[in-house]
Structure 1
Amino acid sequence: MSDATRRRFDLGGRVALVTGSSRGIGRAIALGLAEAGATVAVHYVGRREAAEAAAAAIRAEGGTAETFQADLADEAAARALVDAVTARLGAPDILVLNASAEHRHAWDAMPAADFDEEIAVNLRTPLALMAAARPAMSRRGWGRILMIGSIQSARPNPRLAVYAALKSASANLARNLAAQLGPEGITVNVLSPGAIATERNEAVLADPAYRQRVEARIPLGRVGTPEDCVGAALLLCSDAGGYITGSELYVDGGWNAA
């Protein structure tokens, strides 16, 4: 790789806020951004030990990271989180919206509390976080907003109807905001993972028959890992992806194409 290419992926001097980064895909992306030079705000809701472990892993490799707690179902959390990161690390240049709420129900039997949580965490608060982070990005003329979507936007599970619909909304939102924020130097994209072996998916993937059915649908023939998402995230969060905006990139082993 040439020095010029390395520089395009270099995130030295950038501050990245990654929501839900104490575990799974968020943790892997946080570590990947730190490896590329970014100072990382590791966000968590209720698992401080896991968040501290992620931050410690970044520091062990010579990076800079601090942890931040916020309940993203709380309407006031977005502004408070961005303000806290700005005060301690500097205003975020990179915002990775990874945290999500997911409840499995039949579409006509979803409890109101679960519905409200999904709307809040998967749509309302991401909008508020983007609004809170935008002014500083706009002043600098550089910003990266990356929403973590899902294969559910293309291959919806019958028991995840609301979650799948909200992930489809993320792709629509990225196209809408890309046109509005592009003139300010801010890109907005969606990275949509397929079947990934995360803690959230551990129980369903532990069923050999279920896992076999899933892998049979994936052209590459395997369930992915959180680390499989890192390369795409680095592209979309760096100068290397500076001409990509309003896009949804599937990291799914070809499932969407099958």
Structure 2
Amino acid sequence: MRLDGRRALLTGASRGIGAAIAAALAGAGARVAVNAAEAQAEETRALAATLPGAVAVPLDLGSTGSGARLAHLAEQALGGPTDILVLCAAIQVEEEWHAAEAADMDLQWSINLREALTLTQAIVPGMAERRWGRVLGVSSVQALRPHPRMMVYAALKAALANALRNLAKQVAAQGVTANLISPGAIDTPRNAATLADPAMRARVLGRIPAGRLGTAEDCAGAALFLCSDAAAYVTGADIPVDGGMAL
């Protein structure tokens, strides 16, 4: 599953699952552009400094057109067009469904879906022309089992999965695949506060047949496969990385 000579752009990759996928792709030989919000610029640059040939491209994805801008910046930073696009950027706003505010909805819509789609519009046509490309969306178990206090987040994850399945069908003949991984309960900084509660941790573990929390590296292994030539005949798939939680 080597990726020598390939260029990869990962959004939302300063920490957690995104950072682990960036490390896996870089370790397989890809030149990686690591993106995260500008507030995490220092963290993003620190991660890129640890990966061979990686570059940091901090940019917020909360404004209209930021996805297209990121595509351009990544091509400049990588010295050529993107071959692998990993859509990991996401924001969660936890609130009751009836209290969800328009501003929170708009921010989640922009980062979790709209600018992911503008990125694909900017990058995938070039992949199709070159007859090779990989698009990987990081979805969530919530796309199928939504958290009652994250209606908007869960709905947008389901929408991303639908969009990438649609894309997969349209670009398969040009050598471009589009797939997803759907992490379950992963022990990352985002989930640290919730999982620090012993009672909550026990409830979560009780729903996982594997009997343990997942790690970011568990997700990275599946991602590396889907981004490689080993998965050339896999497209439109959504692989749960959840220890059986979705069962």
Structure 1 unaligned segments of length 5 or more: list them: 1-8
Whole-Å Cα distance in 2 between the matches of residues 131 and 196 of structure 1?
30
Whole-Å Cα distance in 1 between the matches of residues 163 and 45 of structure 2?
32
Shift of 1:154: 1.7
Whole-Å Cα distance in 2 between the matches of residues 173 and 130 of structure 1?
10
Shift of 1:230: 1.0
Whole-Å Cα distance in 2 between the matches of residues 156 and 100 of structure 1?
15
Whole-Å Cα distance in 1 between the matches of residues 168 and 190 of structure 2?
30
Whole-Å Cα distance in 2 between the matches of residues 149 and 134 of structure 1?
19
2:77 alignment counterpart: 88
2:101 alignment counterpart: 111
SS in 2 for 1:180: helix
Deviations 1:129-162 (Å, cap 9, x if unpaired)? Answer: 0001012211210000000000101221100111
Q: Is the 8 A contact 2:36 2:57 kept in 1?
A: yes
TM-score normalised by length of structure 1: 0.93
SS in 1 for 2:99: coil
User: Percent of pairs identical after alignment?
Assistant: 51
* Residues 1-258 of structure 1 aligned to structure 2 (within 5 Å): 9-45=1-37, 46-58=39-51, 63-89=52-78, 90-257=80-247
AA in 2 matched with 1:21: A
Whole-Å Cα distance in 2 between the matches of residues 244 and 116 of structure 1?
33
AA in 2 matched with 1:50: E
Q: Is the 8 A contact 2:185 2:214 kept in 1?
A: yes
Moved more, 93-102 or 132-141: 132-141
Q: Is the 8 A contact 1:174 1:247 kept in 2?
A: no
SS in 1 for 2:187: coil
Q: Is the 8 A contact 1:15 1:38 kept in 2?
A: yes
The RMSD of aligned alpha carbons is: 0.8
Whole-Å Cα distance in 2 between the matches of residues 146 and 14 of structure 1?
15
1:6 alignment counterpart: none
Moved more, 82-91 or 214-223: 82-91
Aligned length: 245
SS in 1 for 2:35: strand
Whole-Å Cα distance in 1 between the matches of residues 72 and 160 of structure 2?
24
Deviations 1:73-111 (Å, cap 9, x if unpaired)? Answer: 111211111111112211110000000011001111111
Q: Is the 8 A contact 1:25 1:198 kept in 2?
A: yes
Whole-Å Cα distance in 2 between the matches of residues 175 and 81 of structure 1?
23
Runs of 4+, deviation exceeding 6 Å: none
